[in-house]
């Protein structure tokens, strides 16, 4: 199994970002998004249900790469995993901006 993606680690110990806040931000980019809870503080956020089904069937592929972001929450912050080519960097930056909001 090959490892793919780019990890962006965000320390938000001073402001607890919620899952709902993250989803609301991603929804600005992907109106029809689909969400999958990994059962362990992480959420796969897909561009839409068709993208989720493609990931379920094939896993990572060149086509699927940019149709999902993975957000993992921890006590000190969270990690955003985006595609290999960083095409979803705008989504990651928008999520990251939540930390600086007052």
Domain membership flag for residue 75? yes
79, two tokens: 């990690």
Helix (H) or strand (E) holding 35: strand 34-37
The pTM assigned to this predicted structure is 0.89
Give the pLDDT confidence score for residue 17 in this predicted structure: 79
**What is the total count of domains within the chain?**
1
Domain membership flag for residue 1? no
**41-53 pLDDT, tens per residue?**
999 999 999 999 9
Give the pLDDT confidence score for residue 74 in this predicted structure: 86
Give the pLDDT confidence score for residue 15 in this predicted structure: 67
* Domain interval for residue 38: 6-100
Measured distance CA(99)–CA(95) in Å, rounded = 8
CA end-to-end span of the chain: 41
Q: Give me the residues of the chain with pLDDT under 50, please.
A: none
Domain membership flag for residue 35? yes
């Amino acid at each position: 199994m090959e490892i793919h993606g780019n990890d962006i680690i965000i320390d938000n110990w001073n402001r607890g970002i919620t899952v709902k806040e993250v989803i609301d931000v991603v929804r600005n980019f992907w109106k029809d998004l689909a969400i999958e809870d990994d059962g362990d503080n992480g959420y796969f956020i897909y561009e839409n249900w068709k993208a989720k089904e493609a990931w379920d069937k094939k896993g990572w592929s060149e086509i699927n790469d940019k149709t999902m972001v993975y957000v993992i929450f921890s006590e000190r912050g969270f990690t955003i995993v985006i595609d290999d080519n960083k095409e979803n960097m705008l989504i990651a930056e928008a999520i990251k901006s939540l930390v600086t909001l007052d």
